[in-house]
Amino acid sequence: MSEMSLRMTAVARRAALALMVAVMGFIAMPAASAAAPAEAFVDTNVSKGLAILNNKSLSLDQRKAQFQTFILGLTDMHRIANFTLGVYRRSATPQDQDAFAAAFQNYAIAVYQSYFTKYSGQTLRVTGSQEKSPGDTIVTTQMVDPNDQSGQQPLEVDFRVLTDNGRFVVIDFSVAGIWLAIEERDQFSSFLGQNGGSIPTLISHLHELAKSYH
């Protein structure tokens, strides 16, 4: 595997946890009137994703299928894919953009499905928030493993929450300080820069990476 592939795979491993966690906060719902509505939004919706992950009455394949449906129904993969293309989106044909969005979705789901069981017993605890500008809030949380006896600081997972026409939506998330959409955009831009800006080449690479997680 090339050095670029290794770096992208490392990003994918970090993205797996973030994707699982972020989808729990990716639900669009009316803005609450509480003092910290963005915090309440994240806190309330975490349990909805965890209920699927922790439902032991379902088989592994059933949990995968239900959570995949949950992801696709509550996230805008096309929007995220367009962002991760960065400046290369400007010169991409509509056909390449659509093909990339499909490959990105397949890649993201494959990464998630490969790793989510490792984290299914953990929970999130909201620790605060900071408003960057009106309607744009960073909600800070910690991932807590009830079986961890190491005494180490819980993993920090942060959500960027926008108010969009009176509804909340998460547009990015970070794990241990790494904002995943930005990280993927940088990695994809680097790959494209080394491959003549060929989006079909990146699409093929994403398909290969996705296969490695099955």
Asked whether 104 and 19 are in contact (CB, 8 A), the reply is: no
pLDDT given at position 200: 96
Q: What percent of the chain has pLDDT over 90?
A: 29
* Sequence spans of domains, the chain: 3-211
> How many Cβ atoms are within 10 Å of 121's Cβ, its own excluded?
12
Token representation of residue 168: 């909340």
- The answer on pLDDT for 51 being more than 90 is no
Q: Mind giving me the DSSP string for 161-191?
A: EEEETTEEEEEEEEETTEEHHHHHHHHHHHH
Q: Is 30 helix (H, G, I), strand (E, B) or coil?
A: strand
Query: Could you read off the pLDDT of 168-212 as tens digits, one per residue?
Result: 877 788 887 888 889 999 999 999 999 999 999 999 999 998 888
The single-letter code of the amino acid at 108 is: A
Select from 179, 145, 144 the least CA-distant residue to 159: 179
109-154 pLDDT, tens digit each: 787 676 566 666 778 889 999 999 998 899 998 888 888 888 888 8
| CATH no., domain 3-211 | 3.10.450.710
Of residues 133, 140, 128, 210, the one with CA closest to residue 174: 140
DSSP H/E element including 51: helix 37-53
What is the reported pLDDT for 33? 38
